[in-house]
Amino acid sequence: MAEFLQIEGVSKSFGPFQAVRDVTLSVAQGEIFSLLGGSGCGKTTLLRMLAGFEEPTSGRIFLDGRDMAGVPPWSRPVHMMFQSYALFPHMTVEANIGYGLKHETLSKTQRAERVREMLDLVQLTPFAARKPHQISGGQRQRVALARALARQPKLLLLDEPLAALDKKLREHTQFELMSIQARTGVTFIVVTHDQEEAMTLSDRIAVMDRGQVQQIGSPTEIYEYPVNRFVASFIGSITSFEAEVMARDGGALRLKVPAFGGEVTTKDANFAPGSKVTLALRPEKLVITKERPSGNAVQGVVKDLAYFGKDSLYRITLASGALVQAHAVNQHRGTETQRVADWDDQVWLSFDPAAAIVLGA
């Protein structure tokens, strides 16, 4: 098994603090792989170990079959796009992009040619002679990207690549990053705390918490089939209930959910009768109706409502006092009085057995 990037049992401690604990994962060539987690989850430390700024306390990192232990940052075929971009303020855009190239055996014309290509790739040719403080934040981000790509690294590390951009620019840049990745074929490792960013950019995501990898999978796998409560609540929003397995019948599971006011039926998940589990429901999987539907249903009162235009978020209080979030797409055009439900309305919440997530307690 010769994966392109292989991280084997890597741990990193700073004094008594364990920043990264026994991380094992592999990344294929040409993949966009995200390390997702909150601050202090160890994702940045892992990235810095890949760049060579930190050495693992234990474990090994192989890149394209080569053990990276003891290889200094300047000799690694790995380049990084820093969160702050770290552009050299005293150099022009052109000089920034060409900086790494002076370490390659290229003729002057070859080097100029490569810089020109890079400027072209990120559409900054007219700004070549500007200094970093003379261009916009989005342009600076592209200079940082071009600079990191100029030496044609095997691996590109992106530390919160979109964090410093405003929302509009972020969406645009996301797609631009993906298209540049597709054109260059360089393997991207993205560190981010923003789950939306990770979901849209990545082929696969590793969700991290307290130095450990919680789950590795495609965005869909992570979102629809989280393996534990941390992943389920970190990615998207979710409402969880304590539950107990009553019976198993083929693919179906009968759960007793006190907060839900009775029993519900769900699919998948292997749990023996009697075990304590968690029933987790995503807001968009819940259906709000005025009349009682068949199947899994519970009654509640609309306590709060947020109108976003394309959809609305409802916060519904159940008889047990539990608060549930439900999303409804505003399919029909209409005034306030014509929507699915209004403040203080009595409504029914229902969900498909296959839509519920059942996790170990």
Which spans of this chain sit near other proteins (rule: CB under 8 A)? 51-53, 72-75, 78-80, 82, 84, 86-90, 99-100, 103-104, 131, 133, 147-148, 151
Q: Tokens 């969160």 map to which residue? A: 83
Rounded CA gap, 54 and 187, in Å? 21
CB of 99 to other proteins, least distance (A): 5
CB of 133 to other proteins, least distance (A): 5
CB of 119 to other proteins, least distance (A): 17
CB of 164 to other proteins, least distance (A): 13
Alpha helices in the chain (DSSP H): 43-51, 93-98, 108-121, 137-149, 167-184, 195-201, 219-224, 229-234
CB of 145 to other proteins, least distance (A): 13
Looking at the Cβ atoms of 89 and 185, the one nearer to other proteins is 89
Rounded CA gap, 196 and 300, in Å? 30
Looking at the Cβ atoms of 53 and 307, the one nearer to other proteins is 53
Q: How far is CA 93 from the centre of its chain?
A: 30
Looking at the Cβ atoms of 58 and 134, the one nearer to other proteins is 134
Strands 187-192 vs 32-36: parallel, antiparallel or unpaired: parallel
Rounded CA gap, 67 and 23, in Å? 16
Looking at the Cβ atoms of 72 and 185, the one nearer to other proteins is 72
Looking at the Cβ atoms of 99 and 225, the one nearer to other proteins is 99
30: left (phi over 0), alpha (psi -120 to 50) or beta: left
One-letter amino acid at 104 equals E
Residue 253: count other Cβ atoms within 10 Å of its Cβ: 25
**E strand intervals along the chain:** 5-14, 17-27, 32-36, 58-63, 66-67, 78-81, 155-159, 187-192, 204-209, 212-217, 239-249, 252-257, 262-267, 276-281, 287-289, 296-307, 311-318, 323-329, 346-351, 357-360
CB of 172 to other proteins, least distance (A): 25
Rounded CA gap, 99 and 89, in Å? 13
Looking at the Cβ atoms of 104 and 342, the one nearer to other proteins is 104
CB of 152 to other proteins, least distance (A): 12
Looking at the Cβ atoms of 131 and 315, the one nearer to other proteins is 131
Rounded CA gap, 161 and 188, in Å? 11
Length of the chain measured in residues? 361
Looking at the Cβ atoms of 51 and 199, the one nearer to other proteins is 51
Looking at the Cβ atoms of 87 and 222, the one nearer to other proteins is 87
Question: What angle do the packed helices 167-184 and 108-121 form, to 10 degrees?
Answer: 130
CB of 281 to other proteins, least distance (A): 42
CB of 52 to other proteins, least distance (A): 8
